[in-house]
A and B are shown apart, each in its own frame.
Chain A
Amino acid sequence: MRAPLAALLASVASSVLLASCIGIYPVTVATRMPADLDMTPYSRLLVAGFNGTAIDDVDTNAETVRLLRSQLRAVRSLTIVNAAAIPVTDMLFVDASFWRRIGEEYRQPLVLTGTVSLSTERRTATQYRDRETFDDEGRRRTDATRSAVDVETRVLRARLLYIDGRTGAIIHADTFQEQTSYAPTQNVPALSSYFELIGRVVPAVLGTVSDHSVVGSRALLR
């Protein structure tokens, strides 16, 4: 246990030494980013409901509403409206009078709705492996072998619409496609894939309605 630790410390020390010798000093920079939307007219946000298809009985409407509401509660400047998820359809998204009525009912919030679908796709991927062989004289050879393997890919497609609860008009839209692949033998529950993939979308939703920081790395030079 001590040897790997010593090796790690030596590696870190040599990296620092190398950096200072060649004059590169990495630093972390946090950039303050404003919300994508002008949120001044809104103090309330209603995550209304989502249309879409899913696999293995994952209810993308209920799950997305619940997850986004809980994550959006971190935005202190907004009150997240508690209401039953609304069953929405594609036609409803452009029905301004419907959203105006919803707006009146919930005191003119910003409304978040849209489509969230989870699907499974079978694909064939190429896998490369090194194969070790020995010739008659015992010399080792390494050959790269290529084989086709089946992978199961879960794909989350989301189109999120932000609707002004006063006018019923769509004021902002974002489209996402996220995917993750497994070996077919892994039997990963669809709900696990859903949370993995929707988790990648959540920061963008937060960034649309609230100021946030983006942390990056930069090099200071000598």
Chain B
Amino acid sequence: MRLRSLSLSALLIILVSSASYADPRGEAKAQVAFGIEAAQRGLWREATYRFERAIAIDPTYAPAYNNLAVACEQQGLIDKARDAYETALARAPKNELIRQNYELFKEIHARATGGTTR
């Protein structure tokens, strides 16, 4: 049932954004939109797949790297998350939301590896 509604949403997003398929950015945005919906439903593996698709379509699209980083973080893929955050910031150095996500990630990871003292 969940998968069915997700499939319908995917179809809807693809239909709505079909006009923007002419350019890679539009196609990447459609993949990211679907990935966000999957993530909001807790389907993080599907979300990861969609964010990776978006990156493959448009490697310059910073939000896709940011979202991939968040998805990797959720799945405990710490090194991959760090790489994705750093690429996102390299693509969009002035994006404060990406920077904030990365700072939170670093803070948590430093605690996990004993990098800070209590």
Interface residues of A (CB under 8 A from B): 23-25, 27, 29-34, 36, 174-176, 204, 214, 216-222
* Complex alpha-carbon distance, A222 and B111, angstroms: 29
Q: Which of B62, B104, B114 has the most CB of A within 10 A?
A: B104
The minimal Cβ–Cβ distance linking B54 to chain A, given in whole angstroms, is: 10
Annotate B55-93 by CB proximity to A: 1 below 8 A, 0 otherwise.
000000011001100100110100000000000000000
Also in contact, A221 and B63, with CB within 8 A (given A27-B39, A27-B70, A30-B74): yes
Tell me the interface secondary structure of chain B in the complex. helix
Q: Does B97 contact A (CB under 8 A)?
A: yes
Residue of A nearest to B96 (CB): A219
Q: Which residues of A contact B111 (CB under 8 A)?
A: 33, 214
Q: Which of B32, B74, B114 contacts A29 (CB 8 A)?
A: B74
A222 touches B100 (CB 8 A): no
- How many interface contacts (CB-CB < 8 Å) are there between A and B? 64
The answer to whether A29 touches B76, judged by C-beta atoms less than 8 angstroms apart, is no
Q: Which residues B19-35 have CB closer than 8 A to chain A?
A: 29, 32-33, 35
Whether B114 and A220, one on each chain, are in contact in the complex, defined by CB atoms closer than 8 angstroms, is no
Residue from B35, B76, B112, B118 within 8 A of A175 (CB atoms): B118
> What are 10 A-to-B residue pairs whose CB atoms are below 8 Å?
A25-B36, A29-B70, A29-B73, A31-B76, A31-B112, A33-B108, A34-B112, A214-B111, A219-B66, A221-B67
A27 neighbours in B (Cβ, 8 Å) = 39-40, 70, 74
Report the Cα distance A216→B107, complex, angstroms.
11
When chains A and B are docked, how far (Å) is the Cα of A25 from the Cα of B105?
17
Nearest B-chain residue to A219, judged by Cβ: B97
Q: CA–CA, A83 to B52, complex, Å?
A: 55
Q: How far is the CA of A216 from the CA of B103 in the complex (A)?
A: 12
Give the docked Cα–Cα distance between A159 and B66 (Å): 39
Indicate if the CB atoms of B63 and A23 lie closer than 8 Å.
yes
Closest B residue by C-beta to A208: B118
